[in-house]
Chains A and B, each alone.
Chain A
Amino acid sequence: MKIRPCAEFRADFPDDQIWDDDNNVVQFGGRNIAEALGTILQGQGYEVLSLEEHPEHGWDFVVGLNAGELLFEISFGGETWHLSTSGQSIDRWPKPSDYAELLIALDAEMRKDGRFSDIGWRRENWQGKNIAPTPHPVDA
């Protein structure tokens, strides 16, 4: 089983980045997207914890996965948004089967949700290598 933990997608959401009068960022964009993904996962029965801003990047939150935990990081990548998922710590690393099941469910729900489009999955969140994303988060 090969898991692709990172997604690239377009998101039709209002720009929620907040600037001050000097054009410095007060709040980074992507909170609404992170909340939407969290809501999707909660709808699938997963526990979503602690949404936090990650300055210069975007937003992240933790998802409980049986005895494990996954960190979800949402960041703006130019025309598309990036989702990067990873284990939170060695002692709470999720089972690969649980991890794969969650990503498959998330992918399916995002495709049903009209706000997300052009969803592709990668082994890594790195644009430098020009490796095309694939439509499936998991290969058997």
Chain B
Amino acid sequence: MRYGASLLRGERPQSGTARGSAPQSSPSPGATRAPVIRQAAPPARPSRNRLDRSYIAKDLGGDLARGVGNAAGVVQGVWHAAEGLGQGAVFLGRLASPLIDERISAPGQTAADQLVNAGKGVIDYAKKGVENPRAVWDDVQARWRQLNVDLDPRATPVADTFSGELRRNYNIGRNQGEAVVEVGSLAVGGPLAKTAGKIGVASKMATPEKYLAQGFSPKAAAYLAEPYEGMGHHFVPRRVDNRLGLSPVFSESEFNVLMPSGISRGDFYEQHFKTDPKFNSANLPREVGGGTWRGKVLGLEKYSRPGRLWHGSPGPLKARIGGLGIGAGGLMYGDTDAEEQR
């Protein structure tokens, strides 16, 4: 997310302006700062325009402008999300083709260089945080203040003029709309949520007792409780990817493969059974007594089509292109569930 990225770069946010309004000027680095002479601002001349003087008009107009801004912000957020997906795919493609990337990129600007630099930025910021926790706290507070200004119409004063108030509310509305998309995206597949999710999953990883209770032998239960390390569930099947000429960079990426981190074999089979109409069972190795894991025997039920599309699509894909990706993936499952719909 943009806020986090700028924080990691060590940028300090400006305060007092909503995103989208004119930025405050700041002195260039190294410039001699002129002494500040505080002067009382000349009293504003009262406007002759009745709308400028009407609080009611400005309030109603501001609400309307904020609503329009909300819609524009949502569209902008979705556009940025799609743009991010495209950029991500291009970046992954460049990473996967280092020889070509080296020829088309400026020195020090290959995808690999950018990855290393981003990593350095994170480490530098972490070091800075260890050395000076106060600075990190200041950053967080400054970012919070900026968010407040960007998103809360009560955080900045009402504009002097009607048109100024419309502009102020439109910008805030647009920021709110975009934030809704960004926060929604984070909640499902953003880096923070993913990290938190991994920790959550790891702490909730199934124990052998769960599989013992399901009727498996102690050896088989221990096997099912081990971490799953297979290839995961491909939302768009690999054969379809091949047919469409999609790169393995996409096919095997987190956008297409559902493989929750820290999940046990048994829990992965459960999830796979529910989300994939064609996955029903898995063999267990002879070493643990052989036999078969079967979803039907455990009383599991398949998700309905919308459930399969939602639960079977990887988080980052959901987060980035939402319904579009789900719709595209849905086509890949064909219409073999005619009886389900009855």
Contact pick for B243, options A75, A89, A129, CB 8 Å: A89
Q: How extensive is the interface on chain B, given as a class? A: 35 or more
> Which positions 319-342 of chain B face chain A at CB distance < 8 Å?
334, 336-340
Establish whether residues A78 and B297, one from each chain, have CB atoms under 8 Å apart when the complex forms: yes
Using an 8 Å CB-CB cutoff, how does the interface string of B276-291 with A read, 1 for contact, 0 for none? Answer: 0111111101111000
Contact pick for B334, options A25, A29, A55, A86, CB 8 Å: A86
Give the chain B neighbours of A127 by CB distance below 8 A.
280, 295-296
> Which positions 254-283 of chain B face chain A at CB distance < 8 Å?
272, 277-283
Contact pick for A129, options B233, B237, B336, B339, CB 8 Å: B339
Known: A24-B230, A55-B230. Contact between A82 and B338, CB under 8 A? Answer: no
A139 to B230, CA, bound (A): 40
Establish whether residues A84 and B296, one from each chain, have CB atoms under 8 Å apart when the complex forms: no
A73 to B59, CA, bound (A): 63
Establish whether residues B279 and A56, one from each chain, have CB atoms under 8 Å apart when the complex forms: yes
Q: List 20 A-B contacts (CB under 8 A).
A: A24-B230, A25-B283, A56-B282, A57-B279, A76-B283, A76-B292, A77-B280, A77-B281, A77-B294, A78-B292, A78-B297, A82-B278, A84-B278, A88-B243, A89-B243, A123-B338, A125-B336, A126-B337, A128-B302, A131-B339
Establish whether residues A84 and B288, one from each chain, have CB atoms under 8 Å apart when the complex forms: no
A131 to B342, CA, bound (A): 12
A77 to B301, CA, bound (A): 15
Known: A78-B280, A86-B336, A124-B336. Contact between A19 and B285, CB under 8 A? Answer: yes
Establish whether residues B302 and A126, one from each chain, have CB atoms under 8 Å apart when the complex forms: yes
Binding site for A on B (CB under 8 A): 223, 229-233, 237-239, 243, 272, 277-283, 285-288, 292, 294-297, 301-302, 334, 336-340
> Which positions 32-72 of chain A face chain B at CB distance < 8 Å?
52, 54-57, 60, 71
Give the chain A neighbours of B243 by CB distance below 8 A.
88-89
Establish whether residues A56 and B302, one from each chain, have CB atoms under 8 Å apart when the complex forms: no
A23 proximal to B (CB < 8 A): yes
A124 to B336, CA, bound (A): 5
Contact pick for A52, options B239, B277, B281, B295, CB 8 Å: B239
A134 proximal to B (CB < 8 A): no
